[in-house]
Structure 1
Amino acid sequence: MRLTVTPPDEPAGAASHYRALERLYEAAPVNTLFPSRLEIPGEGRARLIFQVERAVFHAAGAAHGTVYFKMLDDAAFYAANTLVTDRFLLTTSFNLHFTKPVREGEVIAEGRWVSGRKRVLVAESRLVDADGDEIGRGTGTFMRSRIALSGLPGYADRR
């Protein structure tokens, strides 16, 4: 028997929503291209663990900027979507700042909700390499879509 413990300050429904978002991430076809795992520790926060491989390098031997965007956008997006339990969010804008080349290995993307709860939400994220150095950061704006989370593959699945 598997026992799930919910922290006292997190309602049980919130924990269920977070696990459903993690399943939604896992079910997205694009994530078969990027070895990664989503963890949602609580409201307004998300953490992605990525394995950067040489297959995503540009000609100069570091990860292409699309990889930065994918990691930063996903971390900020899921941090924001922890506050929205009925609708899928859409990225309406995202600003990136590259501070160091992404090389092979594990990269952590940490997302944090900043503001907004109704129609538009703002979240930020940062990338940290295996040495603990920040390698990029971003800020995104996300809006509620008409797409119900409950109808998306992965979200409603119970394992």
Structure 2
Amino acid sequence: MPATPPDPAAGGQHGAAAHFRALESLYAAAPINRLFLSRLEIPELGVARIHFELDERYFHAAGAAHGTSYFKMLDDAAFYAANSRVSDRFLLTTSFNLFFTRPLRKGPVIAEGRWISGERRVYVADARLIDADGEEAARGTGTFMRSQIALATLPGYRLAD
């Protein structure tokens, strides 16, 4: 039987912190993340940070990160910021707009996502990429919709006992 989803507004081990840790575990378990050196942290409701390490594997022919890397980092950060507010269902990205402001090279990058709006069915969150020099390299805004997929049924979403 699936675990009862925590209420993000509640305190204690079955509240927001338990949901955040379970989302971090879900992120780590996703097969796509075997291709990226990254780690998710959800420090508070509506905020997600993903720490990435870029190297030449993610570069296009001109020696900087390919746009697919930008999209992955921005989408993930915005998605988890939004899904931190939803404890029973997996969200789905329905649209995403991104803006490139500078090339990313080898080194650490932080994708920082923040929930903007939405409480029931559709959520909006934005994200930005910060390079090793503290400069913004890109930003984006996504729209996310509640799916029929229960978080508690997903491999990797594990609530602490």
TM class, shorter-length? over 0.9
1:32-58, Cα deviation, whole Å (9 max, x unpaired): 000000000010000000001101100
Asked if 1:14 corresponds to 2:11, the answer is: no
Deviation at 1:11, TM superposition (A): 1.6
Q: Which residue of 1 aligns with 2:72?
A: 70
CA RMSD in angstroms comes to 1.3
Q: Structure 1 counterpart of 2:72, which letter?
A: K
Q: Structure 2 counterpart of 1:115, which letter?
A: S
Q: In structure 2, the residue corresponding to 1:16 is in which secondary structure?
A: helix
Moved over 6 A (4+): none
Alignment partners' CA distance in 2, 1:79 and 1:11: 18
Alignment partners' CA distance in 2, 1:139 and 1:10: 28
Alignment partners' CA distance in 2, 1:78 and 1:156: 15
Deviation at 1:158, TM superposition (A): 4.6
1:45-94, Cα deviation, whole Å (9 max, x unpaired): 00000001101100000010000000000000000001000000000000
Aligned-residue sequence identity (percent) comes to: 68
Alignment partners' CA distance in 1, 2:10 and 2:71: 30
Q: In structure 1, the residue corresponding to 2:64 is in which secondary structure?
A: coil
TM-score (norm 2): 0.91
Contact 1:120 1:142 in 2 (8 A): yes
Alignment partners' CA distance in 1, 2:158 and 2:87: 12
Alignment partners' CA distance in 1, 2:89 and 2:159: 16
Contact 1:10 1:42 in 2 (8 A): no
1:131 to 127, 130, 133: 133
Alignment partners' CA distance in 2, 1:133 and 1:121: 27
Report how many residues are paired: 151
Q: Which residue of 2 aligns with 1:44?
A: 46
Q: Which residue of 1 aligns with 2:106?
A: 104
Q: Which residue of 2 aligns with 1:119?
A: 121
Q: Structure 2 counterpart of 1:44, which letter?
A: G
Alignment partners' CA distance in 1, 2:63 and 2:130: 18
Contact 2:19 2:159 in 1 (8 A): no
Alignment partners' CA distance in 2, 1:10 and 1:37: 25
1:115-146, Cα deviation, whole Å (9 max, x unpaired): 00100000000000000000000000000000
Q: Which residue of 1 aligns with 2:27?
A: 25
